[in-house]
A and B are shown apart, each in its own frame.
Chain A
Amino acid sequence: MPIELEPLQACPPPAAVAGPPACAPWKASVVAELAEVVRNEPVNAEYRHLVVSCSEAAAQAQPGQFFQLLCPQPAGEQPFLRRPMSLYGADPAERQVAFLYKVTGAGTRGLDTLRTGDRLDIMGPLGVGFRLDPRWRRIIAVGRGAGLATLAPLARAAKANGTEVTAIFSARRPELLVSVALFERHGAEVIAVTDSESTSGPANVERILRREIAERGCDAFFTCGSSRLMRVQQRLAREFGLPGQVAMEQQMACGIGLCYCCVRDFNRDGEIVSRRVCWDGPVFDLMEALP
């Protein structure tokens, strides 16, 4: 079962940079620590749910933020870099954070070897997460694939914010959908669309979005995991004058803005600018994002 997420502040201030050493003694806001594995088990044929107990600071992670995991070495492979993993859930009371991952490469094969009681070096929380405006009454989140895990912490945060959520979740097959129960438990309406049922095409998702906006209203869009679906939301956001946020992925090395390997292009008022996903994001303004 996914762990619960504590309410987040509606609009957390932007991440601060280390200040001068003048007044208070310096204290790390990002730490690499050895976290103990509480559980690591499959949730369906593709995804595994990893829960670790961690420091108070790490458990303060906000929806949309991520951690850099130093994955154990699976047999015959030597992952060198840390692997970025978006937050699936955080529980400050229990001092736990959770991740949802699909085994696809050397890093996640390493994660797959973790057993309860093992130690995992986690570094975080990192990046700029989702922001929720306290005035928003209703938001629509659209996700696909691993993006569903990234969107998951929004469910409880929105509920705490007094914001209703409609989630349109896309997957290849119904049994590969994740986060549905979590969203429904927090009162969200979940609309599942799948390739196998031929309901996941952009045209159908647009039809659903238009219906939702017309019948129940929408104050903001959130999305992660599909460029095609993001473009649909961008078009509708422009048409209806809605704000939006997108969580983006990119290969990373350092995770804290040093190396510039995770840059993507963004459209800021007509100018194409390069920004670091790890430092300026991973959550960006929907209208600035380029596929």
Chain B
Amino acid sequence: MNAAVRPGPRSVDAVDLSVSIGGLRLRNPVMPASGTFGEGLGKALDFSRLGAFVTKTVTRELRAGNPLPRVVERPSSLINAIGIPSRGVPYFIAQTMPHYAAFDTPLVVSISAPTAEGFASLAAELSIPGIAAIEANISCPNIEEDGKAFAMRAESTERVTRLLRAATELPVWVKLTPNTGDVPEVARAAEAAGADAVVVANTILSMAIDLKTFKPCLGNIMGGLSGPAIKPIVLRQVFQCAKAVTIPIIGCGGIATAEDAVEYMLAGASAVQVGTATFLQPAAMTTIIDDLAAFCLHREIPRVTDLIRGVVIEEADEPDLSWLDPLP
């Protein structure tokens, strides 16, 4: 970022909000997080203003989803274990895609499968006109037994990404999990295997217990934590991944305001996904887009891309984490 030598924008309309994610041009860097978006939101939010559409995860098999209760709230956060109810590919193509056909906004389809080969064949099947990119949800903590997922390990991430890469000409976004010890290593594996972008991250595996019944609050026992409470954690992971990879990073975790989005972009994100915030304010994404332009205008930043990786680290390249080790 070098705002000082460039003339600042004169109005919010003069701020260039467009970003490029692995060859895909977006009018702005704000899009929904998978699972928190659907045609119903069109009643409350102007779809034509979004940077991209990201669908709820599509699977090949029909999935009923998890037993109820599927959500529980905690301070500044939500835990969900919806379980990816899915009506399969034909339903998605016939019933879901038409809702977005009239918009010139890229439609990103989120996919999941129980095997790497399953991911690849599903990506191939959905590489059809009308789909702009594939987001591989290799991180949903609710699918795999005991919360395990492909994105917990670099090896399984590399394998599924390589098969995806070979299966489709479309941009491949790989959605990583925060539930692993070395997210940058997993991001590197995705990049090495040909991912066009990584989405960092998904919900954080968590749990809540009802003190009246002593039972878990969720029918699935464990679920994924989202909302403002997780923002500092995922922001740190974006920062770490930005040092590990050169492909674009899409930040996702607790973003509710334009200030949150700016923080994510400074940490290294090229775009952001907004999820849980939409449940509280259905027009959150358009508010964020407007406020992002206002922020750039106020700070005399002509292009929103000037924010990417703009965090100023003066003292050292690496934060000192030695005080964490050994653990008490």
Contacts and interface: CB of A to CB of B under 8 A. Distances in A.
Point out which of B39, B75, B80, B279 has the most chain A C-beta atoms below 10 A from its C-beta.
B279
A257 interface: yes
Contact of A82 (B41, B42, B43, B279): B279
A79 interface: yes
A258 B279 CA distance: 9
A259 B227 CA distance: 14
Interface stretch (B61-69, B158-166, B292-300, B308-316): B61-69
Interface string B308-327: 00000000000000000000
Contact of A253 (B41, B47, B71, B281): B71
B78 interface: yes
Contacts, number: 117
A31 B281 CA distance: 9
Given A256-B282, A258-B279, A17 B75 contact: no
Interface residues of A, number: 34
Given A26-B48, A251-B69, A251-B71, A259 B40 contact: no
Interface residues of B, number: 41
A32 interface: yes
A260 B85 contact: yes
Interface string A253-287: 11111111101000000000010000100000000
A29 interface: yes
A17 B278 contact: no
Interface stretch (B30-38, B107-115, B129-137, B265-273): B30-38
A255 B102 CA distance: 25
Interface string A59-102: 00000000000100000001111100000000000000000000
Nearest to B38: A258
A19 interface: yes
B39 to A, nearest CB: 5
B102 A256 contact: no
B125 interface: no
Contacts of A81: 71, 73, 78, 279-280
Contacts of A78: 75-76
B283 interface: yes
B180 interface: no
A28 B283 contact: yes
Contacts of B27: none
Contact of A18 (B42, B82, B227): B42
B288 to A, nearest CB: 15
B7 to A, nearest CB: 32
Contacts of B42: 17-18
A50 B238 CA distance: 45
A258 B282 CA distance: 11
B41 A274 contact: no
Contact of A256 (B44, B64, B73): B44
B43 A253 contact: no
Interface in B80-122: 80, 82, 85, 99, 101-103
B75 to A, nearest CB: 4
Contacts of A80: 73-78, 227, 280
B39 A17 contact: yes
Counting chain B CB atoms within 10 Å of each CB, the highest count among A21, A28, A261 belongs to A261
A18 B68 CA distance: 29
A32 B280 CA distance: 9
Nearest to A21: B48
Interface string A18-45: 1111100010111110000000000000
Contacts of A82: 279-280
A51 to B, nearest CB: 23
B172 to A, nearest CB: 25
A281 to B, nearest CB: 13
Nearest to B69: A251
B78 A253 contact: yes
A19 B99 CA distance: 8
Contacts of A18: 39, 42-43, 47
A142 interface: no
Given A254-B278, A259-B36, A260-B85, A31 B65 contact: no
Given A21-B46, A251-B68, A251-B71, 13 more contacts: A18-B47, A20-B103, A28-B283, A32-B282, A70-B280, A79-B73, A81-B78, A81-B280, A253-B78, A258-B41, A261-B82, A263-B68, A274-B65
The 6 closest A-B pairs by CB, nearest first: A18-B42, A20-B102, A257-B40, A80-B73, A261-B70, A256-B40
8 contacts: A17-B39, A20-B101, A30-B282, A80-B73, A81-B71, A123-B282, A253-B78, A279-B40
Interface of B: 35-48, 56, 64-65, 68-71, 73-78, 80, 82, 85, 99, 101-103, 227, 278-283
